[in-house]
DNA sequence: TCTAACAATAAGGTTTCCTTATCATGCTTC
DNA sequence: GAAGCATGATAAGGAAACCTTATTGTTAGA
């Protein structure tokens, strides 16, 4: 029914009309003159009307028919539309642009990602990044609901997440956090039983100890603080001690001390989680690759 | 640099994604399944990214990648744009639409064109027609200035209009117009000398006699009336007689009589005038063809 | 009148695209 | 759980679209 106009053909048409000649257009198209002649003729046949004034009687310069004149702006628009889309897609597939959404647990978000993201977006000025931080469960939910392209979190029960692919990256050692000057502060490592005689504040990460021999500590603890800012403030005030993964420990703290838990030695593995059956958008894949590369050494 | 996305390819892509399968899309495209596979692969290569989820592991229905998902609406838009333009041009080249402007001398405009135009536009409901009527000089001017696609008029000095193409159609015989019951009214034909004894009213068409042996009549005439309505009224009132071309004579007049001028026999040829170096728009060309066909017999 | 410029046409080669035939894989069904 | 069925990928050959070189025809200008 409707003819299929090829973009190449439209370009030829526009060039002939703008350069006022088949030879000039041929040169621009990196084709020979007969190729352009045929291309134009084919287009004319498809449209059912001549686009240029009778070309056998060369009384004058190559000129558009009224029909061709009517067609010209439309052809230009269509070409422009095509090019806009083609360019969009090229930029996207070269991850020079687009939209990237990720979620991360706060520890990595604050300690590791800033550096990496800064480097990553350095030469991608038009990439828009949406970033969420929350605890591991929430991050997993966002991955599941496809609210984010991928998540950075801990995968507690790996067998419950067969629909997701987990790529471990960071080994996060659990340790004891206490004020400097605290009896435990100068040790190289502590045994869980050492903690029983101190006031222990549990927090969101405490359940990492659940399946270890240190689990009795959890019952022992009177206080639970979910908010990290409050937790730090209480520790600094000498209210007690807590356990935290290394990456959740505020790096530049001058008042607190991190002492690795030696027995049991507990580490959580933090990594990238994505849905198994979905591939990532180009910029998301690029960021994943970049993170892997930056943390490989 | 930028790849050339073919509309056909985009259609294949949209169909595969909408029908959720290569076979279904192949059927819709009247192609075989491998053709669609190759088409899609080619498109993916051009864009630099996969559009559908890994197709080797058929864990699930054919599904878009995020990249493909991003591309889908854009592809649809581009196809729609293409089709819109293609349809526009087809309608225009089948003169089903568009704008047609013509000018005609009043005689043909009132006596011949109404019938023809009515038939012509009968099955072209969306064709817009602008119609002007004026004397031959004005019609020629409008053709020259390209205010109209073509004109219908008399070409008095053909040699002065080498830039125009004239296609004669109607032979318009000059005659004498007088009230019924007038001494001349019952004659089959009159000689110019017969007119000298009657009061002659000249009008816009009188100069057609200029280059004939009847030219002395023009000096003989005391009255000049340019407006046709007034002229008719004066004739009906028995004010005098006049000369008119047959087509300018009001056909259904019951009070006036047309008597051909026998000596000299003067005819003006009325026809279609267009610019030589410009071709007509499709609807204009169609109307010209239609007029020629309708008046051929 | 001759020449240069431009586009149309002809004939043959290349590339692109499509087809048939076949394969690999997973889902369904008994 | 093996057989059949459906899906899409792949291979190879052929058809169609496309481009090229060579040539012709027409017009404009020297």
- Does B253 map to a domain? yes
Q: Which range is least confidently modeled, B31-35, B103-107, B123-127, B289-293?
A: B123-127
Partner residue opposite A85 with nearest CB, options B67, B74, B280: B74
- Which of A59, A67, A79, A128 should we substitute to test contact with B (largest number of B Cβ atoms within 10 Å)? A67
> Are B165 and B182 within one domain?
no
> Are B240 and B188 within one domain?
yes
Measured between beta carbons, which residues in chain B are less than 8 angstroms from residue A83? 2
pLDDT at A263: 81
Q: Do A83 and B2 touch (CB under 8 A)?
A: yes
- Looking at per-residue confidence, does B231 or B222 come out higher? B231
- Does A1 map to a domain? no
Measured between beta carbons, which residues in chain B are less than 8 angstroms from residue A48? 89-90, 93-94, 282
Best-predicted range by mean pLDDT (A115-119, B6-10, B195-199): B6-10
CATH of the domain at B288: 3.40.190.10
CB A169 within 8 A of CB A291: yes
> Are B278 and B261 within one domain?
no
> Are B15 and B54 within one domain?
yes
Q: What is the residue-averaged pLDDT of chain B?
A: 87
> Are B113 and B59 within one domain?
no
CA of A17 to C1' of C10 (A): 26
CA of A273 to C1' of C13 (A): 54
* Confidence class for position A60, pLDDT limits 50, 70, 90: low
- Does A287 map to a domain? yes
**Nearest nucleotide to B31, CA against C1' atoms:** C18
- Does B176 map to a domain? yes
> Are A81 and A105 within one domain?
no
Cα distances (angstroms) measured from residue B41 to each of A35, A282, B45, B49:
28, 17, 6, 10
Partner residue opposite B53 with nearest CB, options A78, A279, A284: A279
- Does A118 map to a domain? yes
* Confidence class for position B95, pLDDT limits 50, 70, 90: confident
Structure-block tokens of residue A109: 């978000």
Indicate whether B59 pLDDT > 70. Answer: no
> Are A247 and A279 within one domain?
no
Which residue reads 């409050």 in tokens? A230
Indicate whether A255 pLDDT > 60. Answer: yes
The average pLDDT across B88-97 equals 85
Structure-block tokens of residue B248: 């300018």
Measured between beta carbons, which residues in chain B are less than 8 angstroms from residue A39? none
pLDDT tens digits, B19-36: 888 999 999 999 999 999
Phi, psi for B289 (deg, rounded to 5): -60, -40
- Looking at per-residue confidence, does B135 or B242 come out higher? B242
Q: Which range is least confidently modeled, A41-55, A191-205, B153-167?
A: B153-167
> Are A279 and A153 within one domain?
yes
The average pLDDT across B96-107 equals 86
Indicate whether A57 pLDDT > 60. Answer: no
> Are A58 and A115 within one domain?
no
- Does B67 map to a domain? yes
A89 touches strand C (CB under 7 A): no
**Can you give chain B as a three-state secondary structure string?**
CCCCCCHHHHHHHHHHHHHCCHHHHHHHHCCCHHHHHHHHHHHHHHHCCCCECCCCCCCCCCCECHHHHHHHHHHHHHHHHHHHHHHHHHHHHCCCEEEEEEEECHHHHHHCHHHHHHHHHCCCCEEEEEEEECCHHHHHHHHHCCCCCEEEEECCCHHHCCCEEEEEEEEEEEEEEEECCCCCCCCCCEEHHHHHHCCEEECCCHHHHCCCCCCHHHHHCCEECCCHHHHHHHHHCCCCEEEEEHHHCCCCCCCEEEEEEEECCCEEEEEEEEECCCCCCHHHHHHHHHHHHHHCC
Which residues bind near strand D, taking a CB cut-off of 7 Å?
Answer: A 6, 8, 30-35, 38-39, 42, 56-60; B 16, 20-24, 33-34, 37-38, 40-41, 52, 55-56, 58, 62
The average pLDDT across B80-94 equals 89
Q: Do B82 and A280 touch (CB under 8 A)?
A: no
What percent of chain B is predicted at pLDDT more than 70?
97
What percent of chain A is predicted at pLDDT more than 70?
97
Report the residue of chain A nearest B100, measured CA to CA.
A66
pLDDT at A56: 57
Instruction: Give the separation between CA B152 and CA B134, rounded to whole angstroms.
Output: 10
Instruction: Give the separation between CA B93 and CA B99, rounded to whole angstroms.
Output: 12
Indicate whether A260 pLDDT > 60. Answer: yes
CB A57 within 8 A of CB B279: no
Q: Which residues pair with A97 in a beta bridge?
A: A126
- Does A63 map to a domain? yes
pLDDT tens digits, B240-250: 899 999 999 98
Closest CA–CA distance from residue B170 to any residue of chain A (Å): 28
> Are A178 and A153 within one domain?
no
> Are B136 and B215 within one domain?
no
- Please, which residues 119-148 of chain B have a Cβ atom closer than 8 Å to chain A? none
- Does A288 map to a domain? yes
Q: Do A60 and B282 touch (CB under 8 A)?
A: no
H helix intervals, chain A: 7-19, 22-28, 33-47, 66-93, 106-111, 113-121, 136-144, 216-220, 228-236, 282-295
What percent of chain A is predicted at pLDDT more than 90?
40
Instruction: Give the separation between CA B26 and CA B217, rounded to whole angstroms.
Output: 82
* Confidence class for position B178, pLDDT limits 50, 70, 90: very high
Measured between beta carbons, which residues in chain A are less than 8 angstroms from residue B53? 277-279
- Looking at per-residue confidence, does B229 or B271 come out higher? B271
Q: Does B8 touch chain A (CB under 8 A)?
A: yes
pLDDT tens digits, A101-145: 899 998 899 889 999 999 998 888 778 888 888 888 889 988 887
Which of B75, B93, B111 is where one domain is finished? B93
Overall number of domains in chain A: 3
Q: Which range is least confidently modeled, A69-73, A256-260, B70-74, B93-97?
A: B93-97
Domain that holds residue B61: 7-93
- Please, which residues 97-116 of chain A have a Cβ atom closer than 8 Å to chain B? 98
pLDDT at B55: 63
Element spanning A246, H or E: none
CATH of the domain at A43: 1.10.10.10
pLDDT at A113: 92
Structure-block tokens of residue A288: 């994943």
A129 SS3 class: strand
* Confidence class for position B297, pLDDT limits 50, 70, 90: low
pLDDT at A219: 79
Indicate whether A199 pLDDT > 90. Answer: no
Cα distances (angstroms) measured from residue B273 to each of A161, A263, B143, B167:
82, 105, 7, 7
- Please, which residues 30-89 of chain A have a Cβ atom closer than 8 Å to chain B? 47-50, 53-54, 59-60, 63, 65-67, 70-71, 74-75, 77-78, 81-83, 85-89
> Are B108 and B231 within one domain?
no
Measured between beta carbons, which residues in chain A are less than 8 angstroms from residue B4? 7-8, 82, 86
Instruction: Give the separation between CA A253 and CA A180, rounded to whole angstroms.
Output: 10
pLDDT at A77: 87
Which of A41, A63, A93 is where one domain is finished? A93
Q: What is the residue-averaged pLDDT of chain A?
A: 87
Cα distances (angstroms) measured from residue B224 to each of B212, B216, B250, B266:
19, 15, 19, 20
Closest CA–CA distance from residue B249 to any residue of chain A (Å): 37
Neighbours of B11 (CB within 10 A): 20
CB A51 within 8 A of CB A40: yes
Instruction: Using alpha carbons only, give the angle B273, B275, B278 rounded to the nearest 5 degrees.
Output: 135
């Amino acid at each position: 029914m409707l003819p299929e106009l090829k973009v190449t053909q439209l370009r030829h048409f526009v060039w002939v009309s703008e350069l006022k000649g088949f030879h000039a257009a041929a040169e621009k198209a990196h084709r020979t003159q007969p190729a352009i002649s045929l291309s134009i003729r084919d287009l004319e046949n498809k449209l059912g009307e001549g686009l240029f004034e009778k070309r056998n009687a060369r009384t004058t310069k190559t000129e558009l028919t009224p029909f061709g004149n009517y067609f010209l702006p439309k052809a230009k628009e269509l070409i422009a539309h095509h090019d806009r889309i083609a360019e969009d897609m090229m930029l996207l597939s070269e991850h020079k642009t687009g939209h990237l959404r990720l979620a991360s647990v706060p520890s990595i978000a604050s300690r590791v990602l800033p550096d990496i993201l800064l480097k990553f977006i350095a030469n991608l000025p038009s990439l828009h990044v949406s970033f969420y931080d929350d605890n591991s469960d929430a991050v997993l939910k966002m991955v599941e609901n496809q609210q984010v392209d991928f998540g950075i979190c801990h995968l507690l029960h790996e067998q419950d997440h067969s629909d997701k692919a987990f790529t471990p990256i960071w080994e996060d050692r659990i340790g004891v956090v206490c004020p400097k000057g605290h009896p435990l502060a100068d040790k190289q490592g502590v045994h869980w039983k050492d903690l029983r005689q101190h006031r222990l504040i549990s927090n969101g990460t405490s359940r990492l100890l659940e399946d270890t021999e240190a689990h009795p500590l959890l019952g022992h603890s009177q206080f639970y603080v979910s908010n990290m800012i409050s937790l730090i403030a209480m520790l600094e005030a000498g209210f007690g001690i807590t356990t935290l993964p290394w990456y959740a420990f505020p790096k530049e703290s001058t008042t607190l001390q991190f002492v690795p838990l030696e027995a049991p030695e507990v580490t959580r593995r933090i990594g990238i989680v994505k849905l198994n059956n979905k591939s990532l958008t180009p910029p998301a894949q690029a960021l994943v690759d970049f993170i892997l590369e930056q943390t490989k050494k």
